[in-house]
Structure 1
Amino acid sequence: MPANHVEIFTDGACSGNPGPGGWGAILRCGDAVRELSGGEAQTTNNRMELTAAIEALAALKRPCRVELYSDSKYLVDGVQKGWAVSWRKNGWRKGNKEPALNPDLWGRLLDLLEVHQVTLHWVKGHAGHPENERCDALAVAQRDRFGAAGR
């Protein structure tokens, strides 16, 4: 795999929606592997899914070709079906004129997608995909850490 080709795996987790949440990401370039994770005390699952992808892409130090794997249809469809681009073009309004959710995160993600050549792949969650399972464990650990902080 060329040095500028990176595989990214991401996941988000939330207890309650909204509630404490966490995200996890794995970045792999050749034999080099890096894990990232974080969370928030009050968030939603979709925000954590987006944040995982954003933080992973933002960690790249130069433009890369990226294969990004996520179990979030919200993330994958939002990009692949052009929804997020349309929402931004329409002042963060959906086709029905309702406000699009999470415009702050979608805007950051769209900006990063202009830097990197990203191909998104949807994977079924909780189905034994090793990297997805590891990202879920990272996200759940952060969700639990932020949830415990609020008690």
Structure 2
Amino acid sequence: MKEVTIYTDGACSYNPGPGGWAAVLMFGSHEKEISGYEAQTTNNRMELTAAVKALEALKEPCRVSLYSDSAYLINTFKQKWLEKWQHNGWKTSNKGPVENQDLWKQLMKLTGEHTVEWIKVKGHADNEYNNRCDRLARDEIKKRA
């Protein structure tokens, strides 16, 4: 399996409001930036969308180290919230519906195709790639302001 490193980030101007997402994919000496925009969304949706789009960009099953500053994204996998939500009929511990089910279901499918290690990074700190993703995501919003 190829080993790929991915950094992702999402941004939202107001919450909800216009949003952007971005990812940097790295394989060997190759780097690829991807990013996009949604007119009406939330920050959490943009964080999840960045991970979905990055994993979808892989052309074959890979071993992935995925870095994100989103505790929502990382904790869902590290703390096995997805399994709990599924077991509870896509309800949270408070018995409310799980938000962003469409994106979580896409991520479940994609993590079945790839071996993904979920790694939390501190946002807006000194991580070059996290900062790069943040800039790319915010630029998507600025382009349309």
* 1:12 Cα deviation from its structure 2 partner: 0.3
Matched ranges for 1:12-51 at <5 A: 12-51=10-49
Give the TM-score normalised by the residue count of structure 2: 0.96
Distance, in Å, in 2 between the alignment partners of 1:125 and 1:12 is 11
1:85 touches 1:110 (CA, 8 Å); kept in 2? Answer: no
Task: State the SS of the aligned residue for 1:67.
Answer: strand
Indicate how the Cα distance of structure 1 residues 145 and 89 shifts in structure 2: closer, same or farther if over 3 A, else same: farther
Distance, in Å, in 2 between the alignment partners of 1:90 and 1:56 is 28
1:67 touches 1:118 (CA, 8 Å); kept in 2? Answer: yes
1:12 touches 1:21 (CA, 8 Å); kept in 2? Answer: yes
User: Per-residue CA shift, 1:78-103, capped at 9, x if unaligned?
Assistant: 11111122213322111221111100
User: Per-residue CA shift, 1:23-45, capped at 9, x if unaligned?
Assistant: 01000000010000001000000
Task: Select the residue among 45, 51, 54 that pairs with 1:53.
Answer: 51
1:20 touches 1:144 (CA, 8 Å); kept in 2? Answer: no
Give the TM-score normalised by the residue count of structure 1: 0.93
1:88 touches 1:107 (CA, 8 Å); kept in 2? Answer: no
* Corresponding residue number in structure 2 for 1:84: 82
Distance, in Å, in 2 between the alignment partners of 1:125 and 1:107 is 25
Structure 2: unaligned runs, 5 residues or longer: none
Matched ranges for 1:94-109 at <5 A: 94-109=92-107
What percentage of residue pairs aligned between the two structures are identical? Answer: 54
RMSD between superposed Cα atoms in Å: 1.0
Task: State the SS of the aligned residue for 1:107.
Answer: helix
* 1:70 Cα deviation from its structure 2 partner: 0.2
- Confirm whether residue 119 of structure 1 aligns to residue 117 of structure 2: yes
Task: State the SS of the aligned residue for 2:60.
Answer: coil
Paired residue type of 2:120? W
Task: Select the residue among 66, 69, 88 that pairs with 1:68.
Answer: 66
The alignment covers a number of residue pairs equal to 145
Distance, in Å, in 1 between the alignment partners of 2:45 and 2:77 is 15
Distance, in Å, in 2 between the alignment partners of 1:115 and 1:52 is 17
Distance, in Å, in 2 between the alignment partners of 1:115 and 1:46 is 23
